[in-house]
Each structure stands twice: as structure tokens, then as C-alpha cells.
Amino acid sequence: MSGPPYPPAPTSGSNAIGKFVIGVSQIGDISAFDWWVSCLSQYANSPILAQIIASFNAAVDQTEELDNLYDLVWNVLTAQGYGLDLWGRIVGVTRTLAIPVMGSGPTFGFNEPGNDWAGFGQGPFASGGGALTQNVVLSDAQFLPLILAKAASNICDGSIPAINSILLGLFGPGAYVADGLNMSLTYTFPAPLTALQTAIIQNAGVLPNPCGVVINIAS
């Protein structure tokens, strides 16, 4: 039976590991369906039928789509865009975070009990509403660590080593949590937190917060 040329089967002493032919076999991608092995012998010598089958296979072959589905959606470590948004919904975190707007602290006013105030040239006029925030959409590179941290938080047992591993993944070396032994935890960071990091801590719901435990932040 004739057909398309294929690499010869590996023989003893050839550069092969089982069915994997070094330098020939694919690495990391789904192998394309070989329609030729399913072609009946009585049709194999008909170039017209063979071309019809080959053209049909090329038109309906989903190998590339399945490969992209795995890389861009199914595998969280390589997912992009919609794939990461889907993983975010699965673990319960969103890539859009509300970050306080600069200057939404003390406003211009007079020193009265219970009110924040600032003198002339030291603060803006009050907006009349609550604290000002802006929505920031995380990039894929920023969102992936947040997804992994939330996934770990969902199954976290609340122990110090488990929480420290989440902090390490989100904020890098130097961040750690300490048990105050008085129903309090203190998250300590090696450098002052950025507005985005503060929003992740306060609004993303990623860091474990055991019931009845006071959380303190130190940086």
C-alpha cells in the first residue's frame, strides 16, 4: 500500500525512546490525526480518493484548536485573556480591582471632633461622597499570581506555613505572617506597599482571614 512518506520506525540502536523519535517526533503539541492509517487498502492506490480524504481531513481537523484550548484556557500556567478570566471565576477572584484615588484622604475644612481636615494648601475640597476609587484591570502577568494565590487560599488550612507560601507567591521574599497569640495575625512586608498591592490585600479576598481573628498590616 502506497502513501505519504513517514519516518521509518525506530530500530535497535537508533536515536529513539520507545515510539519517540529524537529530532522527528513533536514535543509539547497534540499529534495530528493520521488519516492514512485508517484508509482501506483497496482505496489506497487511488490518488483521487486519497486527495479527497486528505482535503476533508484538513478541513475538519481540530488538532490546532484543541492544542490552543489546552494552552490558552485549560492549562492555567499558560492561559491568556479569556482563559485567565475563566480561571478567575472558578477560584473566585476578578482581575478588576478598586484602588483608592490619590488625594482622597483628609479634605480642606475646620478642626471638628470626628472629622478629617486639612488647612489651606494642604488638602482638596470634599467631593460630597465616599472615598474616591478607580478601577484597575490587571494584566495577564499580574492576574496569574492572584489566581494561584486564591486557589491556594481556597484550600488553605490556616496554618502559618500555608499562609506564608501564599504571601511568597504574591509578594516575593520578605513577606511573612506572624501569629500574635491573642487572636490576631500580622502580615509584614519588606517595603512600603503600592496602591495595587494594598488593593489586593484589602479588596481581592485572597489572603486568608480566619474567623474572629484581627488582621494587622505592617510594612
C-alpha cell belonging to residue 169: 507567591
How does pLDDT run across 18-77, given as a tens digit for each residue?
A: 666 665 655 566 676 777 777 887 877 888 888 888 888 888 877 778 888 888 999 999
Measure CA 27 to chain center.
24
Residue 110 lies in a domain: yes
Q: Last residue of a domain, which of 108, 137, 166?
A: 137
- Looking at the chain, the whole-number percentage of residues with pLDDT higher than 70 is 70
194 to 106, 150, 171: CA distances (angstroms) = 19, 20, 11
Q: Could you tell me if 119 and 173 lie in one domain? A: no
Q: Measure the CA–CA gap between 115 and 217, rounded to whole angstroms.
A: 24
Q: Last residue of a domain, which of 81, 107, 137?
A: 137
209 CB neighbour count, 10 Å cutoff: 13
Residue 80 lies in a domain: no
Q: Which domain holds residue 104?
A: 96-137
Q: Could you tell me if 166 and 207 lie in one domain? A: yes
Is the pLDDT confidence value at 4 over 50? no
Count of domains forming the chain: 3
Residue 90 lies in a domain: no
Q: Which neighbouring-strand residues pair with 176? A: 188
Residue 7 lies in a domain: no
Residue 177 lies in a domain: yes
Residue 89 lies in a domain: no
Q: Could you tell me if 160 and 215 lie in one domain? A: yes
Are 96 and 102 spatial neighbours (Cβ–Cβ below 8 Å)? no
Q: Could you tell me if 167 and 127 lie in one domain? A: no
Q: Could you tell me if 160 and 132 lie in one domain? A: no
42 to 1, 46, 178: CA distances (angstroms) = 9, 8, 75
How does pLDDT run across 74-101, given as a tens digit for each residue?
A: 999 999 999 999 999 999 999 998 886 6
pTM for the full predicted model: 0.62
Residue 69 lies in a domain: no
Q: Average model confidence (pLDDT) for the chain?
A: 77
Residue 6 lies in a domain: no
